[in-house]
Copies of this chain bind each other. A is one copy, B any other.
Amino acid sequence: MIETEIISKTKPKLKDPICVIGLPGIGNIGRIAVGYAITQLKAKKFADLYSPYFYPFVMIHNDQIHILRDEFFFYKGKKRDLIFLIGDSQTYDPKGHYEIVGKILEFLESLGCKEVITVGGFSTGKVSKKPKVYGVVTNKKRIKELSKHGISFEAGTKIGTIVGAAGLLSGFAEIRGIRGTVLLGETVGFPIITDPTAAEAVLLVLEKMLGIDIDLAKLEEKVKAMQDFIKKLEQIQTQAAEQLTKTKPGKEDLKYIG
């Protein structure tokens, strides 16, 4: 595989779909919020994204090989349909971010998608019982409209920059004529692996934005289940990254297994 590839088993016909994206990041808020929505809404998997820019290892999960990937799901809504995207991994390579973002947007365009919401975390360094949800837009005319959903727009002064795919996805969406919004759940930051409270805050906003109901009763329980996989994944990636920076052949690739 030379370029990032999206392999879709079926190409669903979707009604004016909005795509909600939760990739790994601080507090894994995007990943667990979107992952929970997928479970509760029983959204259907229809495509996988693989990338040469992901780490070159596989995990053994549930007794079989698991290749790092991003996964697309769809959900048939009342007025509009939804696409969900969650991922195992962000790339370690700056170029990879651009390639992956380009492939995702191209694929979403082919599905008729005109709006993208990416979910992430915003590390404040302090614990908040009622975490805010900050919004960042690609066109500031939309701030007023979005403010009614309980989103805070003081991001400009507080945030300054969004590193990784979440920001690029929304930014490049606009260039293709797709609306882009970033939602950032306020979280304490390191070293929390998953922050269910911030994820809940984001889910409450998403319910309003998307006009859907998600039963939040099982959130904490489900997050615990996801946490194991995420923790394992993060540990392995950290080890892999350390090996890769050393770049010793006969060691790098081989330390564990191979």
Contact = CB atoms under 8 A, between A and B. Distances in A.
A90 interface: yes
Interface string A143-177: 10000000001011001111111111011101100
Interface in A102-121: 102, 120-121
Interface string A56-68: 1111111111110
A174 B244 CA distance: 26
A122 B162 contact: no
Contact of A56 (B25, B159, B163, B175): B163
A39 to B, nearest CB: 22
* Stoichiometry (number of copies): 4
Contacts of A51: 98
Given A163-B56, A170-B65, A238-B250, A2 B99 contact: yes
Contacts of A175: 7, 50, 67
Given A156-B63, A248-B238, A101 B1 contact: yes
Contacts of A247: 92, 241, 244-245
A99 B52 contact: yes
A237 B250 contact: yes
Contacts of A50: 172, 175
